[in-house]
Structure 1
Amino acid sequence: MSTNAAPDRPLLERHDQLEALAAAATAAGAGSGRFVLVAGAAGLGKTRLLAEARRVAARAGFAVLSARGAELEREFGFGVVRQLAEPALSALDPRRRAALFAGAAAPAAAVLDTVGGAPAAGDFASLHSLYWLVANACKGRPLALFCDDLHWADEASLRFLAYLLPRLDGLRLLVAGSARPGEPDAPRKLLDLISADDACRVLPLTPLSPPAGAEVLQALLPGTAHPAFLAACHAAAGGNPLLLRELAETVQLRGIAATAGNAERIAGLRTDAVGRRVRLWLDGLPDAGVRVARAVATLGGEATLATAAELAGVGLPAALAAVADLERADILRPLPADGTPARFGDVTDLERADIPRPLPADGASARGGAGAGPEQGGALPPLPGGGASGRYEFVHPLVRTAVYEGMGLAGKADWHRRAARLLAAGGAPAERGAAHLLRIPADGDPESARTLRRAADGALGRGAPDAAVAYLERCLAEPAGREARLELLTRAGTASTLVDVGAGVAYLREALDLTAEPRPRAVIAYTLGRALSYTGRNDEALALLARAEGWVPAHDEELRRRLIATRVNMAMYFTRHGAPARAAELAALRDLPPHESAGGRMLDCVLAMHDGMAGDPGGVPRAERGIGDGLLVREALGDAALHGGWATLLAADRPGAMGLLDAAVAAAHRTGSQFALTGVLTFRGMGWYWRGQLAEAEADLRGAIRAAEVAGIGAGRPFAGPYLMLTLIEQGRLDEAAATMRWIGVPDPAPPIGPWYLYLDARAALHHARERHADAAASALAAGESFARHGFDNPAFVPWRTRAALALHLLDRSAEARELAAESLRRARRWGAPRATGHALRVLGLLTGGPEGLDRLAEAAAILAPSPARLEHATALRDLGSALRRAGRRADARTHLAEALELAQVCGATVLARSARAELRAAGARAAGRDRSGPRVLTPSEYKVAGLAALGHSNRAIAQRLFVTPKTVEVHLSSVYRKLRVTDRRAMAEIVNGWPEGGEPVPAPRPIG
């Protein structure tokens, strides 16, 4: 009896799951990508179910690629991804491989260690390039990726699956995985992120019912088993199919008859049924069989016969006999040799796939077929072993665990040590040997340290910092000289800031203590100070950074300004000392001559942010100097200093600000990290919200939140969360806004230190939308108190006064309300930006009423008309039209209300559009508003897509240019056709080619009043 025949047995009580997998394959084949996760305890049949799904996908014409998580390879960066890709890529000729790695997929070559791949400089760049590799692969032929045992997968691969999830639509791609809930040491956060995603269909597996369990047992036991015996076996195994089979095997090995009288004996066999059965078999095998089983267990449960034989210390003939014994014992099974490896597609498939070349910088057309990506020569290095026909694996992970745990602690260490040496001698990739070194104590072997350092270099080059940290941690356990240890500590600390900031602090602190030279101490202190801030130890960070400034050599002004910028930026949000205590230093810093370096530009941006939030318009030219030429995007993309430059220019309504952020987003996709992308998308989302482009704002802010969750970045919550709340409120999605507020996770009351004024302001807006006016007033006033505590009072950033004024007015506290609104207008006029000034004028006009109020509303609309602040302009037009209607000027009212409705609809502001439509009807309008077409009715993304399509670029080329999916481009083009009232690209191009270049259509000024 052998479970090797498992595929021939019927799959009991899994009909619903099989149907769901088949339906997912059908949808994926039609271009609607699907992700399915089979979840259940060990032994419930997850692997068997995926095997059935693989057969379904293969019969449907999918290219099928498979991988499996392994305990030994949890730290192997992108290990599961590489298992999926390497066998297929090794079968491709250079032409096909070049087509797959064309365009945005090129950096994936570094992730997969292919020849000629450019290094991937950040973890996000790696994820983005892998997405495009998959998109290229499934264009010509549907692709199915099967990932078993994801609870043992490496975190980099799980991050890729989490990145892929929201981008499935439009791909002919099926992703199916399996995982055990509650598995110890599993990357729970990432698995939860995947399983909780709306795009993921979770298929839970439950134990078999007693009748199904009896059917399994009766097929395995000789003769007719007594029902009482079958019931006892089912109860002992808990309905688990694997344990039922193991019990049946043990019963036969022990010669227990399946009678009613023997039913009571089953209870004694239920504990460790797998281990008991494996030990019984191993005890009866020759020593060579035991050693080969242990060798395969050491190598991770899958190995070539030659490698296992060498590690076991037995000759190849003895190894062949041993694996035959282990197959008969139902311990090992050969990996199927069912033909050539799966291919990504035929040459003709790739030629039809319209895989783009990178677009020229000048925007010229790049139409055509397969792009000229890097040619790859030779086959990829395979996972340990070689060809499929000589590879063996355990019949189930629990069987491997039983063999492995039977080796004892000392035995396991000895086997892993020998495996690491064997792999190193055979020229295997460093990470293969490092995986074994992670499981043994330090032994002082210099070769071990070299292997671990090479493995860390490889992991960092692929954008897998978590794997690099694991290797560096283990390397630090080996003896090393002072200089070598200092280098390892610095590298481990820097890499840990992207993975586990707390661990990074410990490494960097030790590195600082080991460093004697002043400048290296200052460099380490810079990284350590930021890491301390990420863990909430801001006072400690500020003190360290201040000391470090004294360690900088007199000639190194770049490093000095970088340290000052980091300290001042941190103090802006987290210092416990009031703004007056910083005033003298800030004045001195403003008087410093400009310094054309990254550190000098960082300081410019930080001072610009401080001055801008304090309401000083002098911060705007400083921000332009700091960020305008793109130096910081090239050299410090992930640094928080950039945020200050962007925010100041956005608050000042500078027209070029969004273009700077577009360039930063592009850089983050090409070379950046998840941390960098979180910041870039947050501030671009804020800019879209301030401009009233709500769909764009929501997309960016949700992208920032997703990146933060995938990378475990908590620092983005108080920034991205509040602006997403405000965006959702404008669309009337109050329950979603409340859910976002809970996600931010701020305690009540909000802490006195930190940027919680954004959260309090958004909470006030939510209370106002729900007509909880007292709560709205209290939250708005609390936001103002928090904002002032940091020395800030610019209504362009936090309009707390007008928010409180509207609530107080509804509470019959109109005098207080008007006073707050008037002060807000005074400060907005000093700042001088149209959005803030128009907003304050509008609110004060509403609260004043009468002719004076009407004049203020008209002035607000006039100021806002030429600005990019569409939503604020629409709101001013709505309020002006309402006031004119109440004053009896119905014709004038209808003009402004119709314009307000049109703009509100373009912005996606559902609540405002509903209000404007109601006011229009009250003003006697016969229609709901004017129906217009042209660039002003398009969103910025639609505008960009239309312009590129008019130049002749394909959907995939546009998607790569704009860092979106091809499906998103398709959706945008459909919307453009509808809005422009055309049916094809040629007609669209005739309209679009007359528009000005650029990605943000701005409405022309209109007379008001």
Structure 2
Amino acid sequence: MRPRSLAEGYSGDTLRQVVRSPTGVLTVPGGERVVADRPNTQRAVGREPDEEQRERDIRIVPRTLERDAELVVVKAALDAVSGRSTTGAVIPSARRGGLLAFTGPAGAGKTTLLEEARRRAAERDCTGLVAKGGEQEQSLAFHVVRQLLQPLLASYSESERREVLGDWYGIVGPCVGLSPAAERAVPDPQGVRDGLDWVVTHVAVRRGPLVLVVDDAHWADAESLAWLTSFAARVEDLPVLVVVAYRPEELPDEARAFSDMVERNRVRPLDLAPLTPAAVADLMRETLGTGIDDDFCREAWLVTGGNPFETVELAAKVRDRYLTPSKENACALRDLAAETKGGGLVDRLEQLGTIAVRLAWAVAVLGSEATFSLAASLAALGPAEAADAADVLRAERILTYSIKPEFVHPLIATAVYRAIPPAVRVALHGKAAWDLVEAGESPAVAARHLLETQPEGDPWVAEQLREAAQEYVRRGAPDAARRCLGRALREPPPATLRAAVLHELGSPALLHDPAVTVNHLRAALQEPVLPSALRQSIVIRLGRALSHCDRLAEAAEVAMEEVRIATDSQVRLRMLMEHFMLSAFTSEDREAPVLSRRLSQLTQRLSGDSQTERYLYGLRAWDAMVRGEPVATALEFAERALGSGGMSWTDEQWGFEVPSLVALTFLYCDRPDRAEELYAGAIAEYEQQGWRGVHLSLGYSLLGYIRFWKGQLTDAEDFVRAGLQLGDRLGPAGTHAQWYAMASLIEILMARGETAAAQKLAVERRFGKPFPSAVTLPDAETVHGELLLARGMDKEAAEELTAVGSRLDLRGMRNPAWCPWLPHLALATRTTDAGRALDLAREALRRAERFGTATAVGKTLCALARLTDGPEGIALLQRAVSTLELAPSSYELAAPLVELGAALRRAGLLSQAAEPLHRGVDLAGQCGAGGVAARARDELVAAGLRPRRLEVVRHEPLSGAPLV
């Protein structure tokens, strides 16, 4: 349904009533206006001003009066980023970027300072990128980013653009409006921000020093401001200077990170003070001549408060009204100043006539999208009428003389917009959306107008908002997409589309508040008519949303309920797969042994022809591993899960969980090289799709954990710290990833002999109870118990590890290879109950031997040896060393070698002790296990043997630590 136009919705008489001033104005049919006591208003509205009039009416930007201190800072920053001064002299110090922020109320001269900074940057051959926030464009995602980058990138040829954007072409291109978003896995917001970082950095290196200028940053859209906040915080090492201006009192609550970043900056925000009486007098004299009365200038300062914009406008009005600048006329200044903003400006606009008012309203509503043709259409004006109205508005210094219709100052735009009667404003936004779509603009551009309209049950509105949401999702702007879908839901959409809108609101890409997402998806399931494919997708998304709420048992039950009611065998199988997968990630399901049996029986009947069946194989592989079934069984199903084509890590319909479990199955089955290959592929896929949030954080943390299993402790720590840093920058959304990283990092630090550092990390990060109910790898509670044990807190460690054992044994998860709580518990109880400790260690060995990997058997043999004295203990250590010679980790071999050497030394077998001690110290040095190496050297000294020079070998990371 076509939205009604302004002319259709409101008669000319009604509009005339709206814009007529209570007294003193007469609007005549010929388009002329006559204002009592103002002879200069008696001219035709549409007449073209002569050159003299045009020169008077163009708003001249004032020089930067009383801004010397700010200009000194600007000069220093430009000298630093360009490496040379305005004279061309080379400055010997290295180039350094930075951030400058100018603050102050509206009209304080911020824009003038930014323009001066741009001029001076151009003198130094810096490339300038310019953008401006808009009050009406704050809901338009990446609006400011587009202004900054699109003009420059659009000037390149297609091949140059692809070179500049590199691998980020498919992610950054749609964001800045240079290419349509492809049908692919959608990037996450962090991925888009990282891509923008890369592109701007590349442009700075390619084009020389870069100066980014953002005016009215308080009105920047949230997506652009989030990027600007993260990027500006680290530009000092780049040839980039960021210059922003904003009104602190108008920063939205969600811009707290931006204001905090600016306050922490090396150069604090420069707040622009009002002009002094002397500066105001200078401005007045520049405009009106030198023969101005001092009292007149003083009054000008009083009525403007020293505001530069208001002072310039006041001087122009005095000039235009031919008011003599004398002491006697000073009393007229207050009324003249009032015409510059707020109600006074509105009154002045109303006196210009209906046509001018309608055009001004249209420009205010359209904002940055305004063209004269669109504004004329929106105002229901013909071309001639619109041209006449534009001339009047220009003559009154309301619009500029630019090609596009723009207000002279944001103060004017705000006053005009807020003066539009609410009902008229809503109608104008609806018509603007229609006109923009008809003009070929994207639904996202029209959507910001539709968000301002009232729900009317219009299918066209609902569909446009849905399309806008899809566009925003593909650009990596989920918050904007969520706003559009929420508004579409309130329209409301037709009954046939309601479930689809609710389903889209439940997209993982839009996950913000999991509880709200759950409600949307449950509502979608209640819709009376649901196509089978849509219902299946809703259930899958609901299960994952519940898992984000830490309601894994409920999530598994949702999938199971669908299994019960499904009539299609393939749907039932898929829902079973989802049920088994969700159950795999909860560590408190008492039905786990039953589920394991069902999964085992089911997979025996499958052929592996479909993706669902291969994912079930992957779950069976993981289940076999955690239950401690023979390693060959787990490996067989893991290989069958991968098939010939492997698994995708970024397919939203299938998730990354099962591929992760398959890779980790290989790890715990002593195949870390295979696990590393899979996780390296995962990270590459995440990077390619722009998934640089939780997924990439988990990827780096688990890749580090794999390196730990290979005995490369130094590299392992680097990767896990990178994963933790990636998780940290996500805030609360990264909590789950942080648990993975913290558990891995604490275990690595203990292996390196840095127990104090591990404890410090645990305290600082509050790594302790309550632990997540979802499975973490490594198991967080077990790692915490191991830390207590390393600190000599045996009793506390025993209590915690006993709780772990009760939880996991209940589920039938008995493999010490993936969760070694049992051998650790044995060591924790050795001083209080030696007999029980031996029983626990022997049970751990029995379980490890059933599983059958060298790592699992060798480590449990070491634990048993520590509880056994004399020759029997030495024999166990020798057996452990022989077993671990076959394991993939040099660290796991180094520790028992040193223990064997120490035991032989204590037994007086010094000649036999030398070889394992020397091997142990060498291996410990190579893998970065400083604690083991130190103990080995101490044992060598105690044995009267000379330690060999320690050779430390650092393993090169697979692709380098990530830039975060």
TM-score range, shorter chain: 0.7 to 0.9
Distance 1:293 1:899, change over 3 A: farther
1:462 matched residue in structure 2: 475
Structure 1 residues 815-834: aligned runs within 5 Å: 815-834=835-854
Deviation of 1:162 after TM superposition, in Å, equals 7.4
Distance 1:291 1:749, change over 3 A: same
Distance 1:149 1:440, change over 3 A: same
TM-score by length of 1: 0.73
1:643 aligns with 2:651: no
Deviation of 1:576 after TM superposition, in Å, equals 5.0
Report Cα offsets for 1:166-207 as digits up to 9, x if no partner: 9979865555656777967554587599789xxx84754375
- C-alpha contact 1:613 1:794 (8 A) present in aligned 2: yes
Deviation of 1:135 after TM superposition, in Å, equals 5.0
Deviation of 1:310 after TM superposition, in Å, equals 5.0
Structure 1 residues 211-610: aligned runs within 5 Å: 275=342, 282=349, 291-300=358-367, 303-304=370-371, 307-308=374-375, 310-312=377-379, 315-325=385-395, 327=397, 390=404, 392=406, 395-396=409-410, 400-494=413-507, 497-514=510-527, 515-517=529-531, 520-556=534-570, 559-574=571-586, 577-580=590-593, 582=595, 584-610=597-623
In structure 1, C-alpha distance between the alignment counterparts of 2:853 and 2:556, rounded to whole Å = 33
In structure 2, C-alpha distance between the alignment counterparts of 1:882 and 1:561, rounded to whole Å = 56
2:702 to 679, 683, 686: 683
Structure 2 counterpart of 1:468, one-letter code: A
2:820 to 795, 799, 804: 799
What secondary structure, in the 3-state scheme, does the structure 1 residue paired with 2:131 have?
strand
Distance 1:483 1:794, change over 3 A: same
Distance 1:861 1:549, change over 3 A: same
Deviation of 1:595 after TM superposition, in Å, equals 2.8
What secondary structure, in the 3-state scheme, does the structure 2 residue paired with 1:67 have?
strand
Structure 2 counterpart of 1:835, one-letter code: T
1:661 matched residue in structure 2: 679
Structure 2 counterpart of 1:868, one-letter code: P
Report Cα offsets for 1:660-707 as digits up to 9, x if no partner: 111122222223644543443443233223334345444544554555
In structure 1, C-alpha distance between the alignment counterparts of 2:823 and 2:941, rounded to whole Å = 28
Deviation of 1:404 after TM superposition, in Å, equals 3.0
Distance 1:120 1:144, change over 3 A: farther
Distance 1:217 1:393, change over 3 A: same
In structure 1, C-alpha distance between the alignment counterparts of 2:933 and 2:407, rounded to whole Å = 63
Distance 1:466 1:551, change over 3 A: farther
Structure 1 residues 501-900: aligned runs within 5 Å: 501-514=514-527, 515-517=529-531, 520-556=534-570, 559-574=571-586, 577-580=590-593, 582=595, 584-617=597-630, 618-627=633-642, 629-633=644-648, 635=651, 638-654=655-671, 655-671=673-689, 673=691, 674=693, 676-705=695-724, 708=727, 709-710=729-730, 712-730=733-751, 741=762, 748-750=769-771, 758-768=779-789, 770=791, 772-808=793-829, 815-887=835-907, 896-897=916-917, 899-900=919-920
In structure 1, C-alpha distance between the alignment counterparts of 2:169 and 2:584, rounded to whole Å = 40
In structure 1, C-alpha distance between the alignment counterparts of 2:522 and 2:873, rounded to whole Å = 61
Distance 1:570 1:444, change over 3 A: closer
In structure 2, C-alpha distance between the alignment counterparts of 1:399 and 1:923, rounded to whole Å = 88
- C-alpha contact 2:499 2:530 (8 A) present in aligned 1: no
Distance 1:930 1:865, change over 3 A: farther
1:25 aligns with 2:81: yes
What secondary structure, in the 3-state scheme, does the structure 2 residue paired with 1:632 have?
coil
Report Cα offsets for 1:283-314 as digits up to 9, x if no partner: 77666665555444323467455544554556
Distance 1:453 1:99, change over 3 A: same
Deviation of 1:436 after TM superposition, in Å, equals 0.8
Report Cα offsets for 1:905-961 as digits up to 9, x if no partner: 5444455555555555556666662437xxxx34242xx56xxxxxxxxxxxxxxxx
Structure 2 counterpart of 1:5, one-letter code: V
Structure 1 counterpart of 2:639, one-letter code: E
- What is the alpha-carbon root mean square deviation over aligned residues? 5.0
- C-alpha contact 1:111 1:120 (8 A) present in aligned 2: no
Structure 2 counterpart of 1:683, one-letter code: L
What secondary structure, in the 3-state scheme, does the structure 2 residue paired with 1:633 have?
coil
Structure 2 counterpart of 1:870, one-letter code: S
Structure number with bigger Rg: 2
Deviation of 1:123 after TM superposition, in Å, equals 1.0
Moved more, 457-466 or 308-317: 308-317
* Structure 1 spans left out of the alignment, 5+ residues: 336-388, 946-961, 969-1009
1:64 matched residue in structure 2: 128
Distance 1:817 1:310, change over 3 A: same
What secondary structure, in the 3-state scheme, does the structure 1 residue paired with 2:61 have?
helix
Deviation of 1:651 after TM superposition, in Å, equals 1.2
Moved more, 659-668 or 715-724: 715-724
What secondary structure, in the 3-state scheme, does the structure 2 residue paired with 1:8 have?
coil
Deviation of 1:723 after TM superposition, in Å, equals 1.8
- C-alpha contact 1:293 1:326 (8 A) present in aligned 2: no
User: How many residues are treated as equivalent by the alignment?
Assistant: 869
In structure 2, C-alpha distance between the alignment counterparts of 1:27 and 1:160, rounded to whole Å = 26
What secondary structure, in the 3-state scheme, does the structure 2 residue paired with 1:442 have?
coil
Structure 2 counterpart of 1:939, one-letter code: H
- C-alpha contact 1:62 1:144 (8 A) present in aligned 2: yes
- C-alpha contact 1:444 1:478 (8 A) present in aligned 2: yes
1:959 matched residue in structure 2: none
In structure 1, C-alpha distance between the alignment counterparts of 2:338 and 2:669, rounded to whole Å = 70
Distance 1:601 1:76, change over 3 A: farther
Structure 2 counterpart of 1:11, one-letter code: R
TM-score by length of 2: 0.76
Structure 1 counterpart of 2:573, one-letter code: R
In structure 2, C-alpha distance between the alignment counterparts of 1:848 and 1:696, rounded to whole Å = 34
- C-alpha contact 1:141 1:172 (8 A) present in aligned 2: no
- C-alpha contact 1:688 1:694 (8 A) present in aligned 2: yes
Moved more, 546-555 or 163-172: 163-172
Distance 1:96 1:731, change over 3 A: same
Report Cα offsets for 1:795-836 as digits up to 9, x if no partner: 222222344444555x66655544444433332232223333
Structure 2 counterpart of 1:686, one-letter code: Y
- C-alpha contact 1:858 1:880 (8 A) present in aligned 2: yes
1:79 aligns with 2:146: no
1:377 matched residue in structure 2: none
In structure 2, C-alpha distance between the alignment counterparts of 1:224 and 1:920, rounded to whole Å = 94
Structure 1 residues 32-181: aligned runs within 5 Å: 36=99, 38=101, 54=118, 57-103=121-167, 105-114=169-178, 118-124=182-188, 126=192, 130=196, 132-142=198-208, 143-148=210-215, 152-157=219-224, 172-174=239-241
What secondary structure, in the 3-state scheme, does the structure 2 residue paired with 1:5 have?
coil
Structure 1 counterpart of 2:81, one-letter code: A
In structure 2, C-alpha distance between the alignment counterparts of 1:772 and 1:17, rounded to whole Å = 57
In structure 2, C-alpha distance between the alignment counterparts of 1:738 and 1:217, rounded to whole Å = 63
Structure 1 counterpart of 2:801, one-letter code: A
Structure 1 counterpart of 2:872, one-letter code: E
In structure 2, C-alpha distance between the alignment counterparts of 1:859 and 1:166, rounded to whole Å = 55
- C-alpha contact 2:362 2:428 (8 A) present in aligned 1: yes
Distance 1:665 1:887, change over 3 A: same
Deviation of 1:548 after TM superposition, in Å, equals 0.9
